[in-house]
Each structure stands twice: as C-alpha cells, then as structure tokens.
C-alpha cells in the first residue's frame, strides 16, 4: 500500500514538473540533493576507514611490526565475510560496474551499492589493504544518483546525468577539488559532453564542496607547498618525467591485469584469500609504506622526504647511501602495483585512484633524485613528486584533465600548470601505445562493452542483437518443392524465405527476386527447393558486437542478414531496423 502511494505521488510530481520545469531546470534542482548525498558518502567512507586505521595502529608492543603482516588479512577476511554472509552478493569493482550499468543496464545500479561499498572498502583499507577510497566513493555517489533517478522514474539520459553528478560530487568532496570532480565525471563516466550536462555537474560539485567544508573544514587530503613555479629550463626534464611515468602507468596496468587473470583461475575464494593475503602481508611487512592508502607516505614524498622507505628496521642502517635510496624507491614503485593487485585478488574492495597517486608521487621523487644523483640537473623533488601524480592519473585512468586539475587544485594554484600539461599529455600518450583501455574500462571491455567518448561507438555498444532480431519471416522446410513455396509466398509480407531442416538448422534462403521469373511456371513446381536456395555469404551471430554487425551491412550491401546460433536459424536483422534503433538510442542519451 505504501509503495503504491509513493508511486502515485511520484507520478503526480512528474506531471507537475513536466508542466512547470524544463529538463535543464529539473536537473539543476536535483543537483542539490545529489551533490549533498554524494559528498556525504565520500566523507563517511573516509572517516570510517581512517577511524579503523587509527584504532588498529594504536596497538603497540615490542614486536608490533608483525601486525603489518596480519592486519591486511584481517580486513580482507572481514570484507569477504560481510559480502558472503551478510550482504550475500558480490560487490565487484566499483567504477567498472557503474560503466557497465550505464552501457548495458540503462544506468540501473543495485540499491545495496549505496551502502555496501562504504562498509567493504572501509574494512579493506582501514586494516591496510593496499588500495584507495576514491573509487568506492565515486561508485557510491554514482549509485546514489542512479537510485534517486530510478525512484523518480526518470528517463535514461537523466539517469546518466545523475550518475555523473553523484560521481563528481564524491570525488570533489574527498579532495575538496571541484574541478577534478567535474573533469573525472566528464572523462570517465559521461557519454554526452554537452553544456547542458556540464552545468548540473558543476552545481553538484559545488554542493559537495560546501558539505565537505562544513563537516571537515578546509582540510586538504594531500598537503603540498610550492615555493617556486615552473622553470622553463626544466622543460626537458618534465618531458622525460612524462615518458617515464607513462611507462610506469603501463607497467601498473600490466601487473594489475595479469595478477587479476591468475586469481580468476583459482576457483575457491578462500584459496584466493589465503594466497593473496599471505603475499600481501609479506610485501607490507617489508615495506610498511605500502600499508593502506599510503596517505602519510605520499605527503612525505610531496615534501621531498623519502624516509617512508625506511620504516622497516631492516633498512634503517642504509639511509646514508644514495644508490640504496634509489633502489628502495624503485622497489616500492614496482611492488605497489603487486600490493594493489593482490588486495583485489584476495577479495578486498577498494579503488586504484590512491595507488595511482602513490606510485606517481614516488615515481616523480625517484626521477628527480636520479637526475640529481647523476649530476645532470638540480631538480626540486617535491615538485616532481606532485607532477608525477598527475602523470599516473592521466596514464592509468586515461583521464589527463582530471590529473592536471586535481594537482593544480591541491596546490592551491596553477603555478605548475605547464609541467602538469606536459607530463599528463605524454603519460597518456605513452600508455595508449600499450593499452587501449584504462584500469576502469578494461574489465568492462572483457564483457564485450566498449566504453568511449565516440558517440557512434557508445550507441552501438548500448544496442543489443536480441533486440533487433525480426522473426516474421515464413520458413520453408528442407526437402520442399517450388510448388510448396508458392502458397507460403502468397501469405507472406517478406521477400526472403529461410530454409531450415526439421531441427531448425539454417540451410540457406530463397530470395523472391531470384524466383520471380519462374514462380508461375507450373512445370517447375516439382523442382526441389534446394535448387533455388542461396547460401548467404554473411551471417550474424548473437555474440557479435554491434560494430561488427554494422560492418557486415556496409561490406555486403545487404538489407537483411540472417542471425544464426550454433547453426540454428533465429531470424533476420535488417539495415533499416539497425538505423531506426540507432536514432532512438541517440535521442535517449543526447541532450536537447
């Protein structure tokens, strides 16, 4: 009864707002609650994870260093128990799941995603899983936007808009960087980059920032002080850094994708947990800087301080040797990729945004210290650590504008805008040489879904073959005669007649144009239908991507192509139906 009343109220509200508000005005209105809730979700995740971290690290005793080996396993185990026995669902990867929902599920995201990711990621990161909170924050904000749109029974383009608002709000709030949130939504989440979609996202980010200021004060996640801006003479070094971090970002993706594939081959989730947790524990015990988000280590790197690499007493006596410093920095950069991948493989929930910032900061630090050590320059390690963060974001996420404006905002100015542009552009370019897909879009692409800002490709990805198959073609049984076909022709509105055997196997088809000149010659009615059957050169299979379907129409010049599954006839897809469905989908996702 309550649900029916709520549904009636929503219908009346929609009638009122359709009569009194334009779509742009309505989206602007919804940006207020979406921005507030998205920002609030990010703050809750951050506070909960940091609260758990502070609690577990407060335990101190003579051999407390061993806890760096134990804590991550406890967090991942609690995450697995929560998902398996309380939630009873798999949470999966946050942002890739949102992208898949946008492309294939009309933007519909599970209701539990508004809260389950908060708990799971806080447990994983709080206990030291080597992942971040930004991805879960964005996916939670996007889930809030999606479910708010579903509750209000909005159309698809509005659902996507609210997903973008929620995601932008969450990222803006967690970094207190509104431009970074806006560009992240545009580069990673959105389909239509029109001005109409930009204004509500700006407003949602603004509301999220106000929420963050009210609850946290002006507390920047990463503290960086730039005493001197861009030095043109150092441009060559920034070019070198851009190429270097581009290669490092490609290395990270290679490790992540490779480890993920290996863990998928382990059938038992508990075996995956044991293998992943043990290996992760060893890495974090050796290099405590890999623990959790690496917040303190990143901030140290942004001051040009590399003391985080010596947290383990094993290395404490080697801090006077420059070459040892470089070796340990390189080890941390390379092993962070494995630590992140092992956290996911063992069953942890988190994001890759913070690992990108971590690796970027230490890559910049490593690059500048190497140049200084070799005596070929005098670089400021703090500035190169900052710019390296931007480069890793650009490379790993394929989001160069997000990387540029995030670092520009957390430094409270644009004094480094030129090196940020150089490094981000080069890193993105280098990574794209090796990887077509980003850390977010790769897993979506493995499910046959292309995530791109190319509108044509986006629309084709959203179309499904099953929705295009036409079945009102009159079939002819194999072994029939031309005479058997004549009455079928007289009752059919089509000019193609598929020939199938008794099991439904496709044997070819008869084209009306081919028999038009003989169909009234009764002396030929006894001829077997096989004499008039044509085996088509092009066939469509249900698993074919829509891009492949379109190419088959373009190359063949045909107006109808049969759809065959395991040899069985399913129907035909027509060129006209593909085009009309394309136009309909375009109208659903595009702003007026």
* pLDDT bucket at 446, cuts 50 / 70 / 90: confident
Residue 365: per-residue pLDDT: 94
- Asked if the model's pLDDT at residue 240 lies above 60, the reply is yes
- The 8-class DSSP code of residue 523 comes to G
d(CA 583, CA 477): 36
d(CA 379, CA 234): 8
Closest CA to 545 of 445, 473, 474, 455: 445
User: How many domains, the chain?
Assistant: 3
- Asked if the model's pLDDT at residue 309 lies above 90, the reply is no
d(CA 130, CA 341): 8
For residue range 393-407, list pLDDT tens digits in order: 999 999 999 999 998
d(CA 351, CA 344): 9
Residue 1: per-residue pLDDT: 57
Judge whether 491 lies within some domain.
yes
What is the distance between the terminal CA atoms of the chain, rounded to a whole angstrom?
37
Judge whether 372 lies within some domain.
yes
- pTM for the model stands at 0.84
Residues 404, 484: one domain? no
Check which CATH number belongs to the domain holding 96 and give it: 1.10.3080.10
Residues 558, 520: one domain? yes
Q: Name the percent of the chain lying above pLDDT 70.
A: 91
Residues 192, 58: one domain? yes
Closest CA to 147 of 110, 119, 116: 110
- Asked if the model's pLDDT at residue 219 lies above 80, the reply is no
For residue range 280-298, list pLDDT tens digits in order: 999 999 898 999 888 888 8
For residue range 361-396, list pLDDT tens digits in order: 999 999 999 999 998 988 988 899 999 999 999 999
Among the three residues 410, 435, 453, which one is the final residue of a domain in this structure? 453
Average pLDDT for residues 180-207, to the nearest whole number?
82
- Asked if the model's pLDDT at residue 592 lies above 60, the reply is no
CA distances from 68 to 129, 170, 221, 278 (A): 10, 30, 23, 11
d(CA 377, CA 570): 68
Residue 197: per-residue pLDDT: 73
List of residues 6+ apart from 18 with CB closer than 8 A: none
- The 8-class DSSP code of residue 540 comes to B
Residue matched to tokens 């989730």: 269
Among the three residues 404, 431, 453, which one is the final residue of a domain in this structure? 453
Q: Hey, how many other C-beta atoms are within 10 angstroms of the C-beta on 425? A: 17
Judge whether 240 lies within some domain.
yes
Judge whether 84 lies within some domain.
yes
d(CA 125, CA 117): 12
Judge whether 221 lies within some domain.
no
* pLDDT bucket at 334, cuts 50 / 70 / 90: very high
Question: Are the C-beta atoms of 491 and 514 separated by less than 8 Å?
Answer: no
Average pLDDT for residues 23-43, to the nearest whole number?
92
Among the three residues 399, 423, 453, which one is the final residue of a domain in this structure? 453
- Asked if the model's pLDDT at residue 314 lies above 80, the reply is no
Residues 506, 446: one domain? no
Residue 124: per-residue pLDDT: 95
Residue 465: per-residue pLDDT: 87
For residue range 484-501, list pLDDT tens digits in order: 888 998 888 889 999 999
Would strands 496-500 and 476-477 be described as parallel, antiparallel, or unpaired? parallel
Question: Are the C-beta atoms of 285 and 68 separated by less than 8 Å?
Answer: yes
Residue 543: per-residue pLDDT: 86
Q: Three-state SS for 153?
A: coil
List of residues 6+ apart from 329 with CB closer than 8 A: 306, 309, 362, 365, 366, 369
Mean pLDDT of the chain, nearest integer: 87
For residue range 102-134, list pLDDT tens digits in order: 888 888 888 898 999 999 999 999 999 999 999
Q: Three-state SS for 431?
A: helix
Q: How many residues does the chain have?
A: 592
- Asked if the model's pLDDT at residue 174 lies above 70, the reply is yes
Judge whether 226 lies within some domain.
no
Residue 290: per-residue pLDDT: 92
Q: Three-state SS for 326?
A: helix
More confidently predicted of 572 and 57: 572
* pLDDT bucket at 590, cuts 50 / 70 / 90: low
- The 8-class DSSP code of residue 186 comes to I
Residues 250, 285: one domain? yes
Torsion angle defined by CA atoms of residues 487, 492, 498 and 503, in that order, rounded to the nearest 10 degrees: -70
**Exposed/middle/buried for residue 417 (C-beta within 10 Å: 0-12, 13-18, 19+):** middle
Lowest mean pLDDT across 117-126, 141-150, 513-522: 513-522
Residue 282: per-residue pLDDT: 94
Residues 470, 530: one domain? yes
Residue 192: per-residue pLDDT: 59
- Asked if the model's pLDDT at residue 313 lies above 70, the reply is no
Residues 25, 132: one domain? yes
Residue 301: per-residue pLDDT: 84
- Asked if the model's pLDDT at residue 522 lies above 80, the reply is yes
Residues 265, 297: one domain? yes
- The 8-class DSSP code of residue 228 comes to S
Residues 280, 411: one domain? yes
Residue 185: per-residue pLDDT: 87
- Asked if the model's pLDDT at residue 68 lies above 90, the reply is no
Q: What is the DSSP string of 58-104?
A: T---TTGGGHHHHHHHHHHHHHHHIIIIII-S----HHHHHHHHHHH
CA distances from 35 to 31, 45, 171, 430 (A): 6, 16, 11, 35
Residue 302: per-residue pLDDT: 83
Closest CA to 133 of 44, 232, 61: 44
* pLDDT bucket at 62, cuts 50 / 70 / 90: low
Residue 66: per-residue pLDDT: 83
Judge whether 227 lies within some domain.
no
Residue 163: per-residue pLDDT: 93
Q: What is the DSSP string of 442-507?
A: HHHHHTT----S-HHHHHHHH--STTT-B-----EETT-BHHHHHHHHHT-S-SEEEEE-TT-BEE
- The 8-class DSSP code of residue 233 comes to G
Domain containing 584 equals: 460-589
Residue 299: per-residue pLDDT: 84
The 3-state secondary structure of 120-150 reads HHHHHHHCCCCCECHHHHHHHHHHHHHHHHH
Lowest mean pLDDT across 324-328, 430-434, 567-571: 324-328
Residues 59, 201: one domain? yes
Residues 465, 433: one domain? no
Check which CATH number belongs to the domain holding 554 and give it: 3.10.580.10
* pLDDT bucket at 453, cuts 50 / 70 / 90: low
Judge whether 225 lies within some domain.
no
Sign of CA dihedral 217, 221, 225, 229: negative
Residues 329, 185: one domain? no
d(CA 106, CA 178): 27
């Amino acid at each position: 009864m309550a649900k029916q009343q709520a549904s009636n109220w929503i219908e009346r509200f929609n009638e009122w707002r359709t009569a009194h508000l334009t779509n742009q005005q309505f989206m602007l209105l919804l940006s207020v609650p979406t921005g507030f809730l998205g920002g609030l979700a990010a703050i809750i995740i951050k506070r909960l994870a940091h609260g758990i971290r502070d609690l577990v690290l407060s335990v101190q005793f003579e051999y407390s260093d061993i806890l760096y080996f134990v804590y991550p396993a406890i967090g991942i185990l609690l995450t697995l128990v929560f998902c398996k026995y309380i939630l009873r669902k798999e949470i999966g990867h946050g942002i890739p799941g949102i992208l898949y929902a946008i492309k294939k599920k009309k933007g519909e995201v599970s209701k539990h995603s508004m809260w389950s990711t908060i708990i799971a990621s806080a447990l994983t990161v709080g206990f030291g899983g080597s992942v971040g909170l930004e991805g879960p924050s964005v996916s939670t904000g996007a889930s809030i936007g999606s479910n708010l749109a579903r509750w209000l029974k909005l159309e698809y383009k509005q659902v996507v808009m609210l997903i973008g608002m929620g995601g932008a709000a969450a990222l803006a709030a967690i970094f207190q960087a509104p431009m970074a949130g806006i560009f992240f939504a545009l580069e990673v989440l959105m389909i239509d980059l029109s001005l109409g979609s930009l204004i509500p996202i700006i407003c949602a980010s603004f509301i999220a920032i106000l929420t963050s200021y009210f609850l946290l004060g002006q507390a920047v996640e990463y503290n960086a002080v730039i005493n001197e801006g861009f030095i043109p003479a150092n441009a060559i070094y920034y070019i070198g850094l851009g190429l270097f971090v581009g290669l490092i970002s490609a290395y990270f993706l290679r490790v992540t994708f490779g480890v993920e594939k290996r863990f998928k081959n382990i059938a038992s989730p508990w075996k995956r947990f044991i293998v992943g947790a043990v290996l992760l524990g060893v890495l974090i015990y050796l290099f405590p800087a890999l623990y959790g988000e690496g917040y303190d280590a990143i901030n140290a790197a942004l001051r040009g301080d590399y003391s985080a690499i010596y947290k383990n007493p094993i290395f404490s006596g080697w801090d006077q040797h420059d070459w040892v410093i470089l070796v340990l920095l390189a080890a941390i950069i390379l092993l962070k990729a494995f630590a992140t991948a092992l956290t996911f493989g063992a069953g942890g929930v988190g994001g890759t945004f913070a690992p990108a910032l971590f690796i970027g900061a230490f890559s910049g630090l490593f690059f500048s210290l190497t140049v200084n050590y070799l005596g070929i320059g005098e670089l400021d390690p703090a500035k190169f650590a900052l710019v390296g963060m931007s480069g890793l974001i650009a490379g790993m996420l394929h989001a160069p504008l997000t990387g540029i404006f995030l670092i520009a905002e957390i430094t409270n100015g644009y004094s480094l805008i030129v090196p940020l542009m150089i490094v981000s552009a080069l890193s993105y370019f280098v990574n794209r040489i090796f990887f077509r897909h980003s850390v977010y879009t790769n897993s979506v692409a493995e499910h046959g879904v292309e995530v791109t800002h190319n509108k044509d490709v986006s629309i084709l990805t959203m179309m499904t073959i099953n929705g295009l198959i036409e079945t009102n073609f009159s079939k002819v049984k194999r072994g029939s005669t031309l005479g058997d076909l004549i009455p079928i022709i007289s009752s059919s509105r089509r000019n193609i007649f598929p020939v199938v055997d008794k099991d439904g196997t496709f044997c070819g088809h008869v084209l009306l144009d081919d028999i038009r000149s003989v169909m009234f010659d009764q002396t030929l009615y006894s001829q077997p239908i096989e004499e008039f059957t044509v085996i088509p050169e092009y066939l469509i299979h249900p698993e074919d991507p829509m891009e492949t379907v379109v190419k088959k129409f373009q190359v063949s010049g045909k107006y109808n192509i049969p759809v065959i599954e395991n040899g069985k006839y399913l129907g035909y897809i027509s060129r006209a139906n593909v085009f009309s469905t394309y136009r309909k989908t375009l109208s659903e996702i595009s702003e007026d």
